[in-house]
């Protein structure tokens, strides 16, 4: 049974990233054959989901396999309801079925829907409950015994809700409605060049890339040894999206602003041949010092058998050891070559990112970091073209107030606003619609504005000269009067 509007019409393939949904619980996983996935304390296999449409609801059968749920499913309906619940006593004796009986039903292969129906029939107080209490009881038992999951296609909305519910600290408490406002205020669109600085495990970066659709350029600023893109990978973007993604380290930003940046060799990089030779030599020394030769052909040989073996066998053992050494030397050489290739590629991409930044014509800036935003914002705004938007997110108001004050003093921006986002969820049901009792306390703060070009000293002189004739005319008219 496919839910409308949830990516229906597209097929699930092996290697895709998907989102598992059960009630209000989400989890992002990668589809792989015969790989166990634990979700809501259950082991499942996603083999049967391959080739099915996104948005399909599956039922977990025996052995953790998935089976598409039929469109027509008999549901447990409320029975004749009582007037009120005043005479119902929760003493734990109203249910005739014991835990052992329920486990026996599961072992027989009885589905969750049938178990819920038997629980209703064996409850002595179910008919005395009100209609609302009966619906609540059925919903609770379905959630416990009906093992149904829906496989969804990852999107910004789904992943933002998932991270905010499960691990809000990893995304700086960034709520999904706040993220939506950031994308709108930042005017993120296809074909633009956007600078992104975030420490939200790649959620903001993935949201920007999704909205751009693979068109344009995204420059990610990062701190440390490399960017964190755990959430970005969950989107399952094609390789073409990553071709337009560049990265640049923050520790080299000062040099780029000053114009002294050069693409140097990454520290720790050494010559490939030297690395392979040293690795092979160290392996040989370890093997010579070891009491036994390492190799597949000697896995079952002990030290005593090696000492008492005939000369022919010793020669074979020696030859096998030499082959093992040469094999390891070749592996180390391959690893060194691969490492150097990755370093060259990384340095090349960094140089391309620096070139894009030096053009100083970015179409927008998105900043959502656990670091203090003031120094980052003032530096990164120098790479944004005039008449372009910028958005800064922070969980607290005081850092953004400091940014607001410094931007006012420095100039070069207009329409500067500091706002707090607000979200309230409602339960909408017949005769009982009301705000939900559990809600988030706050959604953080946003500082946003538009960059403008400052008047250069040359322009100021021109304005002063244009004002001089007007002043002279005014003085002449005063003298005549």
Per domain, the residue ranges of the chain are: 1-153, 165-259+355-447, 272-351
245-249/413-420 β-pairing: unpaired
Asked if the model's pLDDT at residue 370 lies above 90, the reply is yes
Q: And the tokens for 237?
A: 């973007």
42-44/37-39 β-pairing: antiparallel
pLDDT at 304: 40
Q: Which of 90-94, 96-100, 163-167 has the lowest mean pLDDT?
A: 90-94
Architecture field, domain 1-153:
Roll (3.10)
Contacts of 234 by beta carbon, 8 Å cutoff, 6+ apart:
17, 19, 28, 154, 159, 206
Instruction: List Cα–Cα distances, 161 to 56, 167, 204, in angstroms.
Output: 20, 10, 13
CATH of domain 165-259+355-447: 3.40.50.150
pLDDT at 172: 93
Q: Is 28 helix (H, G, I), strand (E, B) or coil?
A: strand
**Mean pLDDT on 148-154:** 92
Neighbour count for residue 439 (Cβ, 10 Å)? 10
Neighbour count for residue 151 (Cβ, 10 Å)? 24
Instruction: List Cα–Cα distances, 478 to 311, 466, 469, 470, 471, in angstroms.
Output: 123, 20, 14, 13, 11
Highest mean pLDDT among 56-65, 261-270, 328-337, 362-371 belongs to 362-371
Confidence of residue 8 (pLDDT cuts 50, 70, 90): very low
Closest CA to 199 of 226, 161, 181: 226
Q: Which of 340-344, 397-401, 472-476 has the lowest mean pLDDT?
A: 472-476
Reported as type and span, the H/E element at residue 464 is: helix 457-480
**Mean per-residue pLDDT over the chain, rounded:** 79
Instruction: Specify whether the CB–CB gap between 312 and 247 falls below 8 A.
Output: no
**Mean pLDDT on 107-111:** 72
Asked if the model's pLDDT at residue 437 lies above 60, the reply is yes
For the stretch 314-343, pLDDT in tens is 454 455 555 555 666 677 888 888 888 888
Closest CA to 156 of 224, 194, 206: 206
């Amino acid at each position: 049974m496919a839910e409308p509007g949830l990516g229906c019409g597209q097929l699930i393939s092996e290697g895709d990233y998907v989102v598992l949904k059960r009630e209000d619980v989400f989890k992002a996983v990668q589809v792989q054959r015969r790989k166990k996935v634990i979700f809501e304390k259950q082991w499942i296999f996603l083999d049967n989901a391959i080739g099915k449409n996104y948005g399909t609801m599956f039922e977990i059968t025996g052995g953790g396999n998935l089976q598409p749920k039929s469109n027509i499913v008999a549901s447990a309906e409320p029975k004749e309801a009582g007037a009120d619940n005043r005479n119902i006593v929760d003493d734990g004796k109203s249910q005739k079925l014991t835990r052992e009986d329920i486990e026996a039903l599961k072992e027989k292969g009885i589905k969750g829907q049938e178990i819920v129906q038997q629980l209703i029939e064996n409850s002595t107080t179910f008919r005395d409950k009100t209609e609302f209490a009966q619906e609540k009881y059925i919903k609770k038992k379905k959630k416990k015994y009906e093992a149904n999951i829906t496989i969804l296609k990852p999107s910004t909305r789904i992943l933002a809700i998932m991270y905010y519910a499960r691990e809000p600290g990893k995304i700086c408490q960034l709520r999904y409605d706040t993220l939506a406002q950031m994308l709108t205020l930042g005017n993120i669109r296809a074909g633009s060049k956007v600078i992104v600085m975030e420490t939200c495990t790649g959620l903001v970066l993935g949201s920007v890339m999704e909205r751009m659709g693979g068109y344009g350029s995204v420059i990610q600023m990062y701190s440390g040894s490399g960017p964190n893109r755990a959430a970005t990978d969950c989107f399952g973007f094609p390789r073409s999206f990553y071709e337009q993604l560049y990265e640049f380290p923050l520790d080299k930003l000062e040099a780029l602003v000053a114009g002294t940046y050069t693409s140097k060799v990454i520290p720790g990089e050494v010559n490939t041949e030297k690395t392979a030779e040293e690795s092979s030599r160290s392996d040989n020394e370890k093997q010579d010092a070891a009491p036994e030769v390492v190799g597949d052909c000697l896995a079952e040989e002990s030290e005593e058998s090696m000492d008492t073996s005939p000369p022919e066998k010793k020669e074979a053992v020696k030859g096998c050891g030499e082959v093992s050494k040469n094999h390891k030397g070749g592996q180390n050489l391959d690893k060194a070559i691969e490492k150097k290739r990755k370093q060259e590629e990384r340095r090349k991409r960094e140089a391309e990112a620096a070139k894009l930044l030096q053009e100083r014509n970015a179409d927008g800036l998105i900043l959502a970091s656990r670091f203090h935003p003031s120094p980052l914002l003032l530096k990164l705004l120098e790479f944004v073209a005039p008449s372009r938007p910028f958005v800064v997110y922070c969980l607290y108001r005081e850092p953004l107030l400091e940014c607001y004050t410094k931007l006012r003093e420095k100039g070069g921006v207009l329409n500067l606003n500091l706002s707090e986002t607000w979200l309230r969820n409602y339960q909408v049901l017949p005769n009982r619609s009301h705000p939900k009792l559990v809600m988030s306390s706050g959604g953080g703060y946003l500082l946003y504005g538009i960059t403008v070009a400052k008047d250069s000293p040359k322009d100021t002189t021109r304005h002063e000269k244009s004002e001089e004739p007007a002043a002279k005319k005014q003085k002449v008219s005063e003298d005549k009067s």
